[in-house]
Amino acid sequence: MKKLVKNSTVWKIFFSILFFLISFFLDTTSIWYFLTILLSYFIASFDLYVSSWKKLLQGRVLDENTLMIIATIGAFFIREYSEAIVVVVLYRIGELLSDLAVTKSRESVLKLMDLKCDTVRLLLEEEEVLVNAEDAKINDLFLVKPGEKIPLDGVVVKGEAFLDTSSLTGESVPKRVSVGDNVLSGAICQDKVLTVRATSLAEDSTANRILNLVEKSTEKKADTEKWITRFAKIYTPIVVLLAAVILLLFWYFQKDFYQAIYTACVFLVMSCPCALVISVPLSYFLAIGRASRDGILIKGGKELEQLRTIKTAIFDKTGTITEGVFAVQKIVSPTMSQEKLLEIAAYGEYYSNHPISQSVLKKYGKKIDSEKILDFEQISGKGIRFRMDHKTYFLGNATLFEEKGILLDVPPEIGTTIYVAENRVYIGHLVIADKIKESSYSIVESLAAVGVDNVVMLSGDDERVVESVAKQLHIPSYYGKLLPEEKVEKVKHWKKEGCAGFVGDGINDVPVIQVADIGIAMGGIGSDATIEASDVVFMKDDVSKLSTAILLSQYTHRLVLINIWFAIGAKVLVLFLSLLGLGTIWLAVLADVGVTLLCVLHTLSILKRKSFCKMYPLSRTK
């Protein structure tokens, strides 16, 4: 439909120009000349009259179309027919070019968010059946072939392949998945066939949730957008009133009625707020779309604008700064190799389901011969005793070793320590700790580059562990052993110092995210409740995305201000020239159309810029 409308506009402009050119070959005193001029004018301006009439019925008396109609009628009144036609034709060409630019940019954004797959290849009784994605149920098996989008969230039950997850996370490197791995809807299977068991319905899939967030984000306006909307409503009536005042003043002082009308018409044409009305909302729309391409979902223009004002960045530790997964960080033995000590520990932890035990087994990574494990005993809250190869081994904490009279003469470690003894003699220990994410090491530096100097880390973990992580990352402020309500109080404290942004991932972070000025969820492993409560979602668990989001917000804000001041400045200049008698309607239209197109093209730079990570930091608004 929109394409048909645009084609119709092109033909109207074409025929309007054709009849206008024909008028040059006719006698200016003949009725045919006047009829040709009228036909040229009404072909080009018909849509303006229709639009103004519809808005009048809706109670909106004056808008930019009304300004053009009044100006061209005034030009006809003083017999400046050519200028009247040029005004409306150039105005329609400007509208058309602006609409094409806007449509192209919208298509670019929608292409970035083309995640949804409407069909799914279900496996029913070992036969492949193509059905609507909405008809699939949880636990249904479905196929994904090379080049196809994954229609539903699920778990791989057969096959292995590389997935393109760039539309979801912004990560360009393909991700390899195999049996047992979770896959998200919207990712593209690149090379091999996968059989997947559905873990979500179509309406609850990751792709659908992302699309819903993006759709809602375009409905939420930033403060600047709201100001422009309010501005346009009161601006046009004021412009018409000022045009009437200019007409009366020029008529009174210059005694030239025709020149007074001409000057008022120039004022009306140049006063059209097209550049502001188009470019400002478009800037926020494109910025939100660009962020989604980088794996950052921003829920609205207001949230986008607020990102640039963050003065304190507050992070949860576990699952946000760290991976939230226990891993063996250190193996120490004064009497044997690290590999041998790890083997003993892995056999000892074989029968335990505790996360710490699983981390030891994962580190060992070899098959366990369970027949070698004899007299296994789990000592609640303290450790394990077992026999292997005619030797008795103890694995556990310092309390267990103290009870058994096993001498420990080793310095305390940061993290959970598993001490190992052979025949009641200490032979070494393993340190289990939560691994720091690679992206976290540059967080302080990257935030400082965008003007956020105050970085805080909160955690319910032991203070010694929190301190160790903070020192490794150079985070100046950190707090441990905090309950969720204590985290809320800390965030409230930092809010008094300025805009506070909180980044978290777990269900226990929901109250903190809600109380922060801007709440940010780590979407990859974040809970549904956390994502719903947040203002921004990082689809990839990468805290460095915060500096990218802030930089994008700063860039968009600066771009909007440039467009506003450029549009206002150009209009003021032409208006000043018209008041001096140097401006013409032709100049007014060319300036208005030109300013609008330049503002739109400037706005499109949001999509054209390759990266918002490598830009030179922009100055912050204090």
Q: Which residues are catalytic?
A: 316
d(CA 505, CA 524): 9
Longest dimension (CA), the chain: 121
Give the residue among 260, 387, 313, 294 at the shortest CA–CA distance from 610: 294
Residue 588 bridge partners (DSSP): none
Q: Which residue is listed with tokens 């018209």?
A: 578
DSSP string, 46-102: HHHHHHHHHHHHTT----HHHHHHHHHHHHHHTT-HHHHHHHHHHHHHHHHHHHHHH
CA 368 to chain centre: 46
Distance spanning both ends of the chain, measured CA to CA? 46
The number of residues in the chain equals 622
Contacts of 344 (CB under 8 A, 6+ apart): 388, 393, 420, 422, 427
Q: What is the phi/psi pair of residue 517, to 5°?
A: -60, -40
Which class for 569: exposed (0-12), middle (13-18), buried (19 or more C-beta within 10 A)? exposed
Residue 416 bridge partners (DSSP): 432
Q: Which residues of 360-389 are buried (b: 16+ CB within 10 A; e: fewer)?
A: bbebbeeeeeeeebeebeebeebbbbbebe
Contact 150, 144 (CB under 8 A): yes
Instruction: Kindly state the tokens that stand for 269.
Output: 């044409």
Give the residue among 14, 8, 9, 4 at the shortest CA–CA distance from 95: 9
Query: What are the angstrom distances between the C-alpha of 462 and each of 227, 400, 435?
Result: 48, 21, 15
d(CA 331, CA 420): 11
Contact 201, 136 (CB under 8 A): yes
d(CA 278, CA 138): 44
Instruction: Kindly state the tokens that stand for 103.
Output: 């449509």
Contacts of 45 (CB under 8 A, 6+ apart): 68, 69, 72, 88, 92
